[in-house]
Amino acid sequence: MNRPRSFQEFMHWLEVGAGARWLRLAATLLAVLLLSLIVAWKQFHGATSEATLVQADLGRQLAGGAGFTTLVNYPQTMAFLEKRGQRFDARKPYPELYQAPLYAMVIAGGLRVLPEEFRASLFSSAPVPPDGYGGDYFLLGLNLVLLWLAAWLTFDLARRLFDGRTAWLAAFALLLSVGLWRQTLAVNGTPLLMVHALAAFGFWARAEQAIEDGRRRAALGWLAALGAACGLLFLTEYSAGALVLVALLYAGWRLEGASRWLAVSLVAAGFALVSGPWIARNLALTGSPVALAVQNVALKAGDPTAEPATQRNLLSATLPEIDLNKLGNKTLTSVQEDVKSRLWAGGGMWLTAFFVAGWLYAFRSAVANRLRWVFSAALLVLLFAQAFFNSGESDRLAAFWLAPLIIVFGAGFFFVLLHGNAKLSAWPRACACALLVLQALPLLHDMLEPRRRHFQYPPYFPGVFIGMRLELEQRATDGRYGLMADVPAGAAWYGSQRAWSQPVKLRDFYAITVEQPLVELLLTPRTLDRPFFSELAAKSVEPDALGSATNRFGEWGRIYTGLFSGALPPEFPLRAPRKLDENLYVLLNPVLPTRPQK
């Protein structure tokens, strides 16, 4: 119908013509926007982990033209680079050696499109509780956009594999999943992994359809794009790059003759083209394709003998050795947790049950059926890769960022069951709405809660970090002095200031002060909210006893004991403590002079 020429034609266009479709689409988009605003307002509580803040800081460094550098100084980084001939320079930040770069690159791209004055204002002022930090709100907006993009890609893939009804059910199930909302509001980049995974399987579906139709050239092009998507997954989360192994096996299995080796080569070339420059950079800096993240294979979060944070905070260039018993235990424990709880609570929820039950049924569409089995194999590989290669510190779990694909195939099998029931098949929309209501109940519970404080305290209090930066600027602005924290990424992100991570050993602390005198040390509830006598306090030792005075925190026990008793050791340079809150202290250096005011 052309442009309406009368009011009657306009009403017809609006009620039953193209206008009705546009009206439904506008209403849907408005509902999604309102849902996002309400959930974010009620449940957002800022970044929740050091890993997230390290990547956010890396993104800001990139946006500012400082390259892939970090404001966080880990003792291990200092020792490792010094061994390779790069000494500490207060004016030159260290290169980032622990995190994959793509989430930071997306953050940098988002910051660069903002006007310069507005971008600077995000990081300049301390929020008034319960409001949050401007930079955190930017991360929230970025993750919301990525979630919306993931919902659209979910809709597109479900429609391509099944039909429109399945597409709408899958998209709304994703947007009503409390597990995926919690990941989004943690601003850890999980929605970016969801987008890459959906894009990869979108390319996979097109390649499979082209092979099914006998279009060899098109199939090879889509397989090259699939390899590139696997490279993007690798650059977002190193263990996620294991998807390329499934892609290579698929290319070798689905094609024959000369096409088989060409397909395998194109998948590998797509992966290498995307990930190769970053791998080359890491090899040049550290000799490892994933830099110091390679040690995560030998580490396990929560294990006192293999704690990742402990390893980063040792002033040693020696990487931990792999213990096969610990590695096997770590892998099996993580996979067991995935199977028992994460897959069910990770986002798919009810649709995870339909996905698993669907293994007993063959879809009518050969493309959908084959791709479902390919995804099942990929899910298994990625769960094991995460368990094997990661230390357990990362918040971005495969069970969460693969949830949209579980939802797609679960929604497809839901309608298969519905069509097999004579009574329920007459009410497909009502049944789909009932399933969505069940999916939305946990999210509705969260939405009814009171508004949260928009930053994660403890341990992060933006005003404290900004105040520490101002205190440091009163002493010097040329990088001559530094600060240290037990949450250094928080100090770097919120304080916009280079920060040392508190070392495990007190002697390493003194070695760092030789390189850069310290003005401040921040100790938060992350360290101090522990049983005093059993963990924090220094233990006295009888003269004839074997051993030395120690505790869980080694020589730092003397400092913690002095902090609570009010008598810090006289040789400790930061011996002027300020109590800001319960288990929140800033230790100042009373000797270093204050910069003269002009």
Question: How many whole angstroms separate alpha carbon 276 and alpha carbon 271?
Answer: 8
Mean pLDDT computed over 352-378: 94
Q: Quick one: pLDDT at residue 14?
A: 58
Question: How many whole angstroms separate alpha carbon 587 and alpha carbon 142?
Answer: 36
Residue with tokens 């099996």: 332
> Which residues constitute the domain of residue 583?
462-588
Clarify whether residues 273 and 390 are in a common domain.
Answer: yes
The domain boundary residue, chosen from 392, 415, 447: 447
In a domain, 147, yes or no: yes
The domain boundary residue, chosen from 447, 470, 498: 447
Q: Quick one: pLDDT at residue 423?
A: 85
In a domain, 115, yes or no: no
Q: Quick one: pLDDT at residue 368?
A: 95
Clarify whether residues 213 and 332 are in a common domain.
Answer: yes
Average pLDDT score, the chain = 90
pTM of the model: 0.92
Name the phi and psi angles at 124, rounded to 5. Answer: -95, -25
**pLDDT more than 90, % of the chain:** 72
Residue 491 clears pLDDT 50, i.e. is over it: yes
Clarify whether residues 394 and 473 are in a common domain.
Answer: no
pLDDT in tens, 190-222: 999 999 999 999 999 999 999 999 999 999 999
pLDDT in tens, 219-277: 999 999 999 999 999 999 999 999 999 999 999 999 988 899 999 999 999 999 999 99
Residue with the bigger pLDDT between 470 and 235: it is 235
73 - beta bridge partners? 500
Clarify whether residues 404 and 300 are in a common domain.
Answer: yes
Strands 576-581 and 584-588, bridge-based pairing: antiparallel
Report which secondary-structure segment, H or E, holds 579: strand 576-581
Q: Which residue, among 45, 70, 48, has the nearest Cα to 59 in the 3D structure? A: 70
Question: How many whole angstroms separate alpha carbon 412 and alpha carbon 410?
Answer: 5
Q: How confident is the model at residue 407 (pLDDT cuts 50, 70, 90)?
A: very high
In a domain, 304, yes or no: yes
Clarify whether residues 236 and 159 are in a common domain.
Answer: yes
Q: Quick one: pLDDT at residue 569?
A: 87
Clarify whether residues 420 and 475 are in a common domain.
Answer: no
Mean pLDDT computed over 123-135: 90
Mean pLDDT computed over 554-571: 84
Question: How many whole angstroms separate alpha carbon 498 and alpha carbon 482?
Answer: 7
How many residues comprise the chain?
A: 598
Quote the DSSP letter at residue 588. E
In a domain, 111, yes or no: no
Question: How many whole angstroms separate alpha carbon 93 and alpha carbon 312?
Answer: 17
Token representation of residue 546: 């074997």
In a domain, 472, yes or no: yes
Question: How many whole angstroms separate alpha carbon 527 and alpha carbon 534?
Answer: 14
Question: How many whole angstroms separate alpha carbon 161 and alpha carbon 366?
Answer: 10
Clarify whether residues 433 and 506 are in a common domain.
Answer: no
The domain boundary residue, chosen from 395, 424, 447: 447
Contact in structure between 238 and 290 (CB atoms under 8 Å): yes
Q: Which residue, among 315, 316, 291, 296, has the nearest Cα to 306 in the 3D structure? A: 296
Residue 64 clears pLDDT 60, i.e. is over it: yes
Residue with the bigger pLDDT between 234 and 362: it is 234
Residue with the bigger pLDDT between 21 and 395: it is 395
Q: Quick one: pLDDT at residue 545?
A: 37
69 - beta bridge partners? 95
Token representation of residue 592: 């270093």
Token representation of residue 273: 């083209």
Q: Quick one: pLDDT at residue 546?
A: 37
Clarify whether residues 495 and 396 are in a common domain.
Answer: no
Contact in structure between 479 and 53 (CB atoms under 8 Å): no
Clarify whether residues 436 and 556 are in a common domain.
Answer: no
Q: Is 450 helix (H, G, I), strand (E, B) or coil?
A: coil
Which of 71-80, 85-94, 441-450, 562-571 is most confident? 71-80
Clarify whether residues 331 and 278 are in a common domain.
Answer: yes
In a domain, 14, yes or no: yes
In a domain, 83, yes or no: no
Clarify whether residues 442 and 492 are in a common domain.
Answer: no
Token representation of residue 123: 């990081």
Q: Quick one: pLDDT at residue 541?
A: 43
Clarify whether residues 291 and 411 are in a common domain.
Answer: yes
**What's the number of domains the chain is made of?**
3
Residue 119 clears pLDDT 90, i.e. is over it: yes
- What is the full DSSP assignment across 280-299? HHHHHHHSSTTGGGGGGGG-
In a domain, 512, yes or no: yes
Question: How many whole angstroms separate alpha carbon 126 and alpha carbon 133?
Answer: 7
Residue 549 clears pLDDT 60, i.e. is over it: no
For every residue of 481-537, which 3-state class applies, written as one string? CEEEECCHHHHHHHHCCCEEECCCCHHHHHHHHHHCCEEEEEECHHHHCCCHHHHHC
Contact in structure between 412 and 205 (CB atoms under 8 Å): no
Token representation of residue 570: 């006289």
